[in-house]
Amino acid sequence: FKPYAGVSTAVLFFTKTGTGGTDNVWFYDMTADGYSLDDKRNEIKDNDIPDVLERYTSLRADAKQSQEQKRKRTEKSFLVPFDEIKANNWDLSINRYKEIIYEEIAYAAPSEIIKDIETLDQERNDALTALKDMLR
């Protein structure tokens, strides 16, 4: 896939449990790989890969006491119970399970915005007039 095509990629890891299955499926919402999203693919500051590796390693080290057990579904990574995925017809789309919190934004009334624009227009006109006077 081209980096800027907007196509999401999912990576699945399967681990032999030796106990007949898993209790939870781990999801990580990776948004940056350390490279720009254009054809040049220059290195950039944003990079989730070290965090992915750290979280995955800690999850594997002690699954019962892992920080992942405590994470909410609003975070970068979280666990989803196997039974929930089964009930969702085996859907492994992160968007099915990730919770997004929306912040309400209060905007000024349109009449106030128009008044502010008119004030800015008047200030701009005054500055332009002063500039013209200086050039005479």
pTM of the shown model? 0.66
Residue 42 confidence (pLDDT): 87
Note down pLDDT in tens along the chain; length 136 residues: 566 666 677 777 777 777 777 888 889 988 888 888 777 888 889 898 899 888 888 876 665 567 888 889 999 999 999 999 999 999 999 999 999 999 999 999 999 999 999 999 999 999 999 999 999 8
Residue 43 confidence (pLDDT): 87
Q: What is the DSSP string of 5-26?
A: S------------SSSS-SEEE
